[in-house]
Amino acid sequence: MELHSLTIHELQDMIRAGGTTATRITEAVFQRIGAVEPKVHAYIRLMKEEALAQAALADEDIKRGDIKPLTGIGVALKDLLCTRGVPTTCGSRMLQNYISPYDATVVEKLAAAGAIFIGKTNTDEFAMGSSTETSCFGPTRNPWDTDRIPGGSSGGSAAAVAADECIAAVGSDTGGSIRQPASLCGVIGFKPTYGLVSRFGLVAFASSLDQIGPLTKDVEDAAIMMNVLAGYDPRDATCVATQIPDYRKFLGRDISGWLVGIPKEYFAEGTDREVLDAVEKAVQSVEKCGARITEISLPHTKYCVAVYCIIAPAEASSNLARMDGIRYGLRAKEARDLAEVYTKSRTDGFGAEVKRRIIIGAYSLSAGYRDAYYGKASQVRTLISRDFDEAFRECDIILTPTTPTPAFKIGEKVENPLQMYLSDMFTISANLSGIPAISIPCGYTHAGLPVGVQFLAGRFEEARLLQFAAAFEKSAAVEKRRPVV
């Protein structure tokens, strides 16, 4: 097995046994990138020189016996995460020349854990998209079929993991942006509880919804990454001070007797038949673990997309107000006065989807409409959250499809924003309610495209969720196929 295709825990075992080095792993990853990146376009920027220098230092640590949780492991960073001295573009012309003067908290934590930074991955512009097609740097392609999208907005991170262009990656999830591309690319995507992972240094899209999490090759790697990423940070006012267990210790534990809720609202018309078939097989695998299945109801599910499409643009319009050509972002050169600086800079700097969401958000927050739109959406959001609170009084875990369809063709939904938004219809609710969720591969379509199943747990129940996901992964034993790029 080639080094670039191995997991974090497999490589760490090899490092401890003297079977490889950080430099060899890093060189193997960049050799793989050289072979497949022209077809996939997972990265906006590669950091080869920096990565090899980090690997050399890691090898000195290894010689001294100082092996940290991610020593020698090549990690890719979504290009919404501030990285000191490196451009952080958010996939936008607006920030294409912005170089961050500081590291995001998660970047600091990964570096302290010994990670090697491979590069910054492609993303929908300011994370606004479900296909990684709105990036000003061009679309990322799905390694399983390069005519198809990888999902979004963390499509570059998901594609990099699937194509073995890194060992693990970090993304952000506002309405499914980790889990949806993970499902479409056949990898693990984990969205933690809101407030468990610091958002300091993440360029904000919708501040009450955004959360950072890992994309990995298996569940154990997700647990390893969460051990590094989770934890209180005083620089993020929304970060919660809570005890962080060793998530790996929960893997391999029995889940027999657990009650798994299947919400009837997530199995309605419009979901692809092959997706439903794969998820039904996933339910059977859960039962083989000794868990019990029960039908539940999340009655306000039908409002999730509408609520999201008010709250997320409203918060985005507020957050992106700073991108005005003066405080941050591209500055129009031929503006004659202050008003033209604002107008021309934002017109030239933002793409169509970002403009659309800013306009929607500004309208829903405007005088006379705020209560009718943003206020009402916030009230319904509370009802959606209460649905989950009630459900978790009845069951331990909730099981749903991750996406309604497999990966679709590039360009297929670009002109139909509503259809694009509906590709996140099963993932949005976890962001609105702040609960943790994971997407894990559960099968393939007849065309060989991966399908994911989603598990959800109560707030700060990451250990329970990873325990369940690991048991499912072992029971389902989904064939470990590799995309041929």
- Establish whether 78 is a catalytic residue: yes
DSSP state of 372: I
Tokens representing residue 175 in the block: 């309405």
Picking from 289, 227, 305, 278, the residue whose alpha carbon sits closest to that of residue 406 is 278
Picking from 405, 373, 394, the residue whose alpha carbon sits closest to that of residue 274 is 405
- Establish whether 177 is a catalytic residue: yes
Contacts of residue 362, Cβ cutoff 8 Å, sequence gap at least 6: 317
Indicate which residue of 130, 135, 153, 198 is catalytic.
153
Alpha helices in 303-461, H assignment, sequence order? 304-319, 338-349, 352-364, 376-394, 417-422, 428-433
Q: Is the Cβ–Cβ distance between 22 and 71 less than 8 Å?
A: yes
Contacts of residue 239, Cβ cutoff 8 Å, sequence gap at least 6: 195, 196, 197, 198, 199, 200, 232, 233
Give how far Cα 190 sits from Cα of 29, 257, 410, Å: 23, 24, 25
- Establish whether 385 is a catalytic residue: no
Contacts of residue 174, Cβ cutoff 8 Å, sequence gap at least 6: 127, 153, 205, 206, 209, 210, 211, 312, 431
Residue in this structure with the two tokens 């594609």, named with its chain if needed: 159
Rounded Cα distance between 298 and 291, Å, is 21
From the number of C-beta atoms within 10 Å of its C-beta (0-12, 13-18, 19+), residue 364 rates as: buried
Residue 17 CB: number of other CB atoms within 10 A?
Answer: 8
Give how far Cα 242 sits from Cα of 164, 232, 385, 459, 461, Å: 34, 7, 21, 11, 12
Contacts of residue 72, Cβ cutoff 8 Å, sequence gap at least 6: 11, 12, 15, 20, 21, 22, 25, 26, 55, 58, 59, 62, 114, 116
Q: Is the Cβ–Cβ distance between 233 and 261 less than 8 Å?
A: no
Residues with a known catalytic role: 78, 153, 177
